[in-house]
Amino acid sequence: MMKKLDRSTVGFWTVAILFVVLVQVLISTGILSNFWSTLLKLGAVMAIVSLGLNLIYGFNGQFSLGQFGFYAIGAYASADVTYRWVQLHTANGLVVLTMAVTLVGLALLLFSNLLGRIRGLDTLSSFGLYLIGVIAAAYAAIKLSQPLIAPVTNLLASMPENVALNVVFFIAVLISGILAAEISYLFGLPVLTLGSDYFGIATLGFTIIVKVLLDNSDTIMGFEEMKGARGMVGIPKVTTWIWVAVALLIVIAIVRNLLHSSHGRALISVREDEIAAKAMGIDVAQQKIFTFVLGSLFAGIAGALYAHINGFLHPNTFNFIKAFDPMIVVVFGGLGGVTGNVFAAFAWALILEGFLRIWLPQGFETWRFVVYPILLLLMMLLRPSGIFGSFEVPFIKRALPPLPASLTGESTNAQNGAKGG
Amino acid sequence: MAESSKSSSNEIVLDVAALCKNFGGLSAVKDFDLTINKGELAGLIGPNGAGKTTAFNLITGIYAPTSGNITFRGDSLTGLSPFEITKLGIARTFQNIRLFPSLTVLDNVRIAYHAHAGYGLMDAFLHTPKYQVKEKELTERAQEFLAVFNLHTRQGEIAKNLPYGEQRRLEIARALAANPYLLLLDEPAAGMNPNEIASLMDLIHFIRDRFDLTILLIEHQMRVVMGICEHITVMDFGEVIAHGNPDEIQNNQRVVEAYLGRGSAELVKKLSKERTNVA
């Protein structure tokens, strides 16, 4: 992997790391106020969510409004884990969720292997079987993890406070992402068989369900610390600029590497023409599920990072109107474009919450929700392909491989024979 | 019948038996039988709406048959998804070209290689050395393949920007890249001018010999079918009405009726008798 580093790769990482360090220095020296550093963090988080959505919508062609549902799941799941550690001094959230995510993951793998061998099983029956498996695995996880809680709590308590908190936070981010991915797999199984528009409506329904469940999280679901529609407070504010920037860079690298591979081409072919993709031997259903799960994993991770920026979560942050935000960012930056997507996410955070607040005269701050739609409208009229259009930085651009030396010379006999005109 | 016209080995590649497909009350394909031997260039013809494309879609798994059996080299295709059938070795083109329109010519072909890419998801995420090697191999294979079709100089072109004839050629190239044993061509000459048709016919002969293929094609243009097919099956109203070599088909009463209407067969017979009398 490190053998041949071309200039675009070196250039990209140099610029990216310099930018991250520069921002960190500005934050540390106090030049960037808390207000602006929070906005930069929000921009990076939005970049991760919208890159996930871009994979699903921009590259795989599935119109999804469910991204914020998975974002909310990631946010609340990780917040619950860290809340229990900081406020209740117990690692039970961490242990139970890690165990649940592992066992459910294993159950899903086992079931997909077993059910894959049965021909002609209809979607809903297989979904029902999956559901039974998942519920059994989750129940087993809760039972099995009980004896582990005390030792893990003691182990973490023996570490310095700050280290322990960051360890808990790091694991919470990972498992919340995986939790969102697993839920998306379950949800995607029946729903991804729908055509694109119907899929959009179904995912919108998912976002609404998640929001309603969160509104009643303290009553129906029994998580009292989430405080339902009153909003969850007391979450440790551990998300630093470095955390989100590193997460964003990893996500960009993964997306870029995927798109440059045969798997990336396979998932793009589904957007281009499903029937032709099938006729080329591509398992369209599998590609759709895979992309949906990967996109939701990113959403879950972003949600977990978001929860620890302000230390406060409210179900209204995840209502269905907000669910359009990542969609707007994706379209704004250009469908199926990574550079434009990341840029648009930062622009969205900085302009909507930052500059517009400063530029608009005092007392008129709420007018930014008038200016912002007008900007969107103008944008769609003037540049429907997104601010960056099809522009990509060289690192991300899918470069055309040069022809091998044997083909650059004269044409061979075969083609002359093959082609008359 | 026309078995004598085929000299190569007698392995049966595709065997379709009593295939039926009903759409509601309409039976689009009824008791369809077809046997194709290895190396054959077979044709499937019939008037508009005869059920030819439906038969193709049944063979490639896009539709599930109502009843009947399809056997490909000894394996039953019933219940398999289209992508599994492609992996077994049946590739096809479409009546209205279905390329991946906004991807490059090279990527169109590389997608067909996905099943044989030879590296997993983790290799793709991390760009491991295995990825580097396999991806380079795959790309070069695709480029050499494009060269066979004289499309390599256009590898970077977006597929939808190609002229019509080249789009057809690319579609055939892409189908062949999936490494098939049996190639199904659905009206390859549709919308082509006589020059393009001539070069298409050359191309079909060329790919059969070069890639050791068995080909089944649907076609409307008699010139193409009679010119290149060794064995022709004629369909009308979802049923097979005739089998045979081009000569037999041209003189078949039911075929002439299907194309020209009832009563025309006597006319044709009379005309041809008069012609022989004169000669």
What pLDDT, on a 0 to 100 scale, did the predictor assign at position A4?
60
What pLDDT, on a 0 to 100 scale, did the predictor assign at position B279?
56
What pLDDT, on a 0 to 100 scale, did the predictor assign at position A415?
42
Q: What is the mean pLDDT of residues A190-219?
A: 89
Residue A366 burial (C-beta neighbours within 10 Å; 0-12, 13-18, 19+):
exposed
Residues 6+ apart with CB under 8 A from A14: none
H/E element holding B29?
Answer: strand B26-37
Contact A276 B98 (CB under 8 A): yes
User: Smallest Cα–Cα separation from A209: which of A233, A183, A234, A231?
Assistant: A183
Residues 6+ apart with CB under 8 A from B235: B32, B44, B45, B46, B50, B51, B52, B55, B241
Question: A25: how many CB neighbours lie within 10 A of its CB?
Answer: 11
Contact B103 A283 (CB under 8 A): no
> With 70 as the cut, is the pLDDT of residue A254 above it?
yes
Contacts of B136 in chain A (CB under 8 A): 401
Contact B206 A417 (CB under 8 A): yes
Q: Is A2 helix (H, G, I), strand (E, B) or coil?
A: coil
What pLDDT, on a 0 to 100 scale, did the predictor assign at position B4?
40
Higher pLDDT, A402 or A139: A139
Question: A247: how many CB neighbours lie within 10 A of its CB?
Answer: 22
Cβ-nearest to A280 among B123, B155, B174: B174
Q: What is the mean pLDDT of residues A73-85?
A: 94
Portion of chain A with pLDDT greater than 90, in percent: 58
DSSP A222-270: --GGG-GGG-B--------HHHHHHHHHHHHHHHHHHHTSHHHHHHHHH
Contacts of A264 in chain B (CB under 8 A): 124
CA distance A345 to B249: 66
Contacts of B122 in chain A (CB under 8 A): none
User: Smallest Cα–Cα separation from A316: which of A209, A234, A220, A215?
Assistant: A215
Contact B148 A415 (CB under 8 A): yes
Contact A282 B101 (CB under 8 A): no
Distance to chain B for A332, nearest Cα, Å: 20
Higher pLDDT, A395 or A245: A245
Residue A55 gets which letter from DSSP? I
Q: What sign for the dihedral angle of Cα A30, A31, A35, A39?
A: negative
CB pairs under 8 A between A and B: 163
Q: What is the mean pLDDT of residues B11-31?
A: 89
> With 70 as the cut, is the pLDDT of residue A338 above it?
yes
Contacts of A400 in chain B (CB under 8 A): 104, 106, 155-156
Higher pLDDT, A149 or A355: A149
Q: What is the mean pLDDT of residues B233-259?
A: 85
Distance to chain B for A264, nearest Cα, Å: 8
Condensed to tens digits (0 to 9), the pLDDT of residues A93-129 reads: 999 999 999 999 999 999 988 887 887 778 888 889 9
Task: Assess A413–B contact: CB distance below 8 Å, yes or no.
Answer: no
Q: What is the mean pLDDT of residues B209-213?
A: 88
> With 70 as the cut, is the pLDDT of residue A201 above it?
yes
Residue of B nearest to A403 (CA): B143
Contact residues, A window 216-235, toward B, CB-based 8 Å cutoff? none
Residue A299 burial (C-beta neighbours within 10 Å; 0-12, 13-18, 19+):
buried
What pLDDT, on a 0 to 100 scale, did the predictor assign at position B278?
66
CA distance A118 to B264: 53
CA distance B90 to A146: 54
Mean pLDDT check: name the lowest of A201-215, A405-419, B27-41, B221-235: A405-419
Task: Assess A155–B contact: CB distance below 8 Å, yes or no.
Answer: no
Residue of A nearest to B108 (CA): A269
Q: Are B221 and B189 in contact (CB under 8 A)?
A: yes
Q: What is the mean pLDDT of residues B100-126?
A: 90
pTM of the model: 0.90
Task: Give domain limits for chain B.
Answer: 3-89+180-278, 99-172
CA distance A373 to A51: 22
Contacts of A277 in chain B (CB under 8 A): 83, 100, 111
> With 60 as the cut, is the pLDDT of residue A351 above it?
yes
> With 60 as the cut, is the pLDDT of residue A1 above it?
no
pLDDT band at A411 (very low <50, low <70, confident <90, very high): very low
Task: Assess A277–B contact: CB distance below 8 Å, yes or no.
Answer: yes
Q: Which two structure tokens, joined as six digits, stand for A228?
A: 């339902």
> With 60 as the cut, is the pLDDT of residue B107 above it?
yes
Distance to chain A for B1, nearest Cα, Å: 32
Contact A263 B150 (CB under 8 A): no
H/E element holding A137?
Answer: helix A123-158
Residue of A nearest to B136 (CA): A401
Distance to chain B for A219, nearest Cα, Å: 42
Task: Assess B88–A contact: CB distance below 8 Å, yes or no.
Answer: no
Contacts of B82 in chain A (CB under 8 A): 275, 278-279
Contact B101 A420 (CB under 8 A): no
Contact A262 B198 (CB under 8 A): no
User: Smallest Cα–Cα separation from A280: which of B177, B162, B170?
Assistant: B177
CA distance B246 to A290: 49
Beta-bridge partners for B26? B23
Task: Give domain limits for chain A.
Answer: 40-398
pLDDT band at A409 (very low <50, low <70, confident <90, very high): low
Contact A266 B111 (CB under 8 A): yes
What pLDDT, on a 0 to 100 scale, did the predictor assign at position B161?
93
Residue B112 gets which letter from DSSP? H
Residue of A nearest to B91 (CA): A279
- CATH code: domain B3-89+180-278 is 3.40.50.300
Condensed to tens digits (0 to 9), the pLDDT of residues B133-174 reads: 999 999 998 998 899 888 888 888 999 999 888 898 899 999
Measured CA to CA in angstroms, residue A181 lies from A105, A256, A292, B141, B206 at distances of 10, 20, 8, 36, 49
> With 60 as the cut, is the pLDDT of residue B7 above it?
no
Task: Assess A120–B contact: CB distance below 8 Å, yes or no.
Answer: yes
What pLDDT, on a 0 to 100 scale, did the predictor assign at position B261?
74
DSSP B230-272: SEEEEEETTEEEEEE-HHHHHT-HHHHHHHH-TTHHHHHHHHH
Condensed to tens digits (0 to 9), the pLDDT of residues A356-378 reads: 778 878 777 778 788 888 888 88
CA distance A129 to A358: 55
> With 80 as the cut, is the pLDDT of residue B265 above it?
no
Contacts of A280 in chain B (CB under 8 A): 83, 86, 91, 111-112, 114, 174-175, 178
Contacts of A283 in chain B (CB under 8 A): 81, 83
User: Smallest Cα–Cα separation from A196: which of A334, A60, A341?
Assistant: A60
Q: Are A66 and A203 in contact (CB under 8 A)?
A: yes
Measured CA to CA in angstroms, residue A225 lies from A82, A217, A271, B160 at distances of 11, 9, 42, 56
pLDDT band at A152 (very low <50, low <70, confident <90, very high): very high
Contact residues, B window 214-253, toward A, CB-based 8 Å cutoff? none
Cβ-nearest to A279 among B60, B101, B107: B60
Q: Are A330 and A50 in contact (CB under 8 A)?
A: yes
Cβ-nearest to A281 among B114, B121, B156: B114
> With 50 as the cut, is the pLDDT of residue B126 above it?
yes
Q: A147-161: b or e for each residue (b if 16 or more CB lie within 10 Å)?
A: ebbeebbeebeeeee
